[in-house]
Chain A
Amino acid sequence: MKLYEIFIRAKSGLNHRHVGSLHAADAQMALQNARDVYTRREEGVSIWVVEAAHISASNPEQSEPWFDPAADKIYRHPTFYPLDKEVDNM
């Protein structure tokens, strides 16, 4: 059987969020199993199942060159810009 990753929307207005995985023969079975395994206490209003083999992930060994370029661009944050006291809380 195939490995499926399970994503659940806790309530409308929120993103689907990864909660775990399970094995199933197809998407329909994965949805049914996900309902029983991951939503026994009203944890969700919507379920996505994705075959794990279809997920492409960034390489953790490349994390530094991949993500570090954002680290020195502090001018992208509002706190980079001091404001005069009179106009505080812009």
Chain B
Amino acid sequence: MYSQGLQDAKGGPEPEALLKAFQKRIDNEEKIEPRDWMPEAYRKTLIRQMSQHAHSEIVGQLPEGNWITRAPTLKRKMILLAKVQDEAGHGLYIYSATETLGITREEMTRQLLSGEAKYSSIFNYPTPSWADMGAIGWLVDGAAIMNQVPLCRASYGPYARSMIRICKEESFHQRQGYDIMTVLARGSEAQKKMAQDALNRTWWPALMMFGPSDKDSKHSAQSMKWKIKRFSNDDLRQKFVDVTVPQAEHLGLTIPDEDLKWNEETGHYDFGEIDWDEFINVIKGNGPCNKERLAARQNAHDEGQWVRKAADVYQQNQQDAA
């Protein structure tokens, strides 16, 4: 956006008065816009958070892209195509919003492909059955909505605005997923089994999407103060469990957690301990599909090279002709 030519606020400590005025604006629920003064740490944290978010949307196309040519009906194929196209669009909204902070698209792509930048751990799991398309829409997009709705009020204007667009579209993603699960859960024994199997495999990785437990979340306090994170990881995870369990029960499916039970006192579901070793392992790059996903992105980047080059030459020719 219109942030080009901005000078980097580099060198020397940032003036106390500016820092105070900045925090006061945030406390007053004012939005920060690209050309406004902001602390370098705020800019850097946002670039990290937003680019990770954008990368997740882009890599998130891969597990579902796997089923476009194998969708069971033409209707399902059209829906899945539309959903995967939305994910590409979501990536683009957030990439362009991130660029307003002074980082280029090329640099973000480089960080993704080199493994410097992370993306959501959930996309490093395989999608071996059609029911996974249902489980992903219902649970993964459901968890994403839980995370993203509060970000519609994030303090950085371009981020908040892109989240508003995205949330409007995610609702379709979640419903089409639940619709797939509903059809399977009410189908033949084999179909029910498929649905249950997909739920078994997706449930825990979906809970991990909310990030480490609050006691281990190192960036949380500052991000909450800056209002680029509005609820804690554990609060959002609890909320997700509370709304999702009845949805599973409605379909006659069983959440794969023996410790899951309604707690009358707290008014919430208690649930079992997450396997944090698995989470850390996947984040570190050792999940079932990490290498495959990055290789697919690298391949798309390489195969698209001639298109970018052609566009550059075309642009040059246009300028020369003018």
A residues engaging B (CB < 8 A)? 1-3, 5, 19-26, 29, 36-37, 40-41, 52-53, 55, 57, 59-61
Contacts and interface: CB of A to CB of B under 8 A. Distances in A.
A21 B1 contact: yes
A57 B35 contact: yes
A61 B158 CA distance: 19
Interface string B274-318: 000000000000000000000000000000000010011011001
A41 B172 CA distance: 12
Given A53-B4, A57-B35, A60-B33, A37 B314 contact: no
A74 to B, nearest CB: 23
User: Which bucket holds chain B's interface residue count?
Assistant: 20 to 34
A20 B97 contact: yes
A45 to B, nearest CB: 18
A52 B1 contact: yes
B85 A40 contact: yes
A5 B315 CA distance: 17
B92 A37 contact: yes
Given A20-B93, A21-B99, A37-B89, A5 B2 contact: yes
B96 interface: yes
A42 to B, nearest CB: 12
Question: Looking at chain B's contact residues, is the secondary structure mostly helix, strand, loop, or mixed?
Answer: helix
Given A40-B86, A60-B36, A26 B314 contact: yes
Among all A-B residue pairs, the 8 with the closest Cβ atoms: A25-B315, A25-B311, A21-B96, A60-B35, A21-B1, A25-B314, A60-B36, A55-B2
Which of A2, A20, A22, A41: most chain B Cβ within 10 A? A20
Contact of B315 (A26, A37, A60): A26
Interface string B1-25: 1101000000000000000000000
A25 B319 CA distance: 10
A21 B36 CA distance: 18
Contacts of A60: 33, 35-37
Contacts of B308: 1
Given A3-B4, A40-B85, A61-B37, A26 B318 contact: yes
Nearest to A1: B311
B315 A1 contact: yes
A80 B86 CA distance: 50
Contacts of A36: 85, 89
B301 to A, nearest CB: 15
Contact of A29 (B2, B36, B161, B311): B311
10 contacts: A3-B4, A19-B165, A20-B96, A21-B1, A21-B96, A22-B92, A25-B314, A36-B89, A40-B86, A60-B37
Given A37-B93, A59-B35, A60-B33, 19 more contacts: A1-B308, A1-B312, A3-B1, A19-B165, A21-B1, A21-B99, A22-B96, A24-B311, A25-B311, A25-B312, A25-B314, A26-B314, A26-B315, A29-B311, A40-B85, A52-B1, A53-B4, A60-B36, A61-B37
B110 interface: no
B5 to A, nearest CB: 9
B225 interface: no
Nearest to B96: A21
A57 B311 CA distance: 28
A36 B318 CA distance: 23
Contacts of B169: 41
Interface in B159-184: 161-162, 165, 169
A32 B241 CA distance: 41
Contacts of A3: 1, 4, 99
B44 interface: no
Contacts of B315: 1-2, 25-26
B88 to A, nearest CB: 8
Nearest to B82: A40
